Amino acid sequence: MSKNADGPIGTVAALVRSTFLVNAVYVDSAREHGITQQQGQLLCVLMAQPYGMGELGAMLGLAKSSLTGLVDRSERNGLVRRQPDPEDSRAVRVALTGRGAKLAEEFYTGTCRRIEDLTSGFAPAERDMLAALLGRVVTDNKVPAVFMEPDAAH
């Protein structure tokens, strides 16, 4: 099972191995910013807007208890705050604090740069083709928009 072929790899192996690669980028970037990978993902999601706990759980693929722990730790670190949901008095929304927004921007920018570097040897047309194909995989599988396009973040 541990074949290390230098030749072309299939779709399944390519997608799975690329997830490991992107996760490693997240881990390294998060470590440099003194946060966990999950906190980095939470900050990136919250850059767009505050979200309710249910929405966050669905977007991040976390169970309620795991999400609560993540938000609690992030709140203790001054990165996020819970605020009343204007549409439901029983619910809260999670929003970035000023410190969290600054860290989110730094983490996001560095992470985008590192991910962009993964395809630095590609021609522009190859990058466009990769984006189109992966975009179709994401769209066809209704993956939530948990990460903004670099141009849309500014």
Q: Where are the domains of the chain?
A: 11-153
Element (H, E) at 93: strand 88-96
pLDDT tens figures, 63-84: 999 999 999 999 999 999 999 9
Amino acid identity, position 151: D
pLDDT of 154 > 80? The answer is: no
State the pLDDT at residue 5.
Answer: 58
Q: Domain 11-153, what fold?
A: Arc Repressor Mutant, subunit A (1.10.10)
Q: What angle is formed at CA 47 by the lines to CA 46 and CA 51, rounded to 5 degrees?
A: 30
Q: How far apart are the C-alpha atoms of 88 and 70, rounded to whole Å?
A: 22
Predicted TM-score of the model (pTM): 0.82
Q: What angle is formed at CA 29 by the lines to CA 12 and CA 103, rounded to 5 degrees?
A: 130
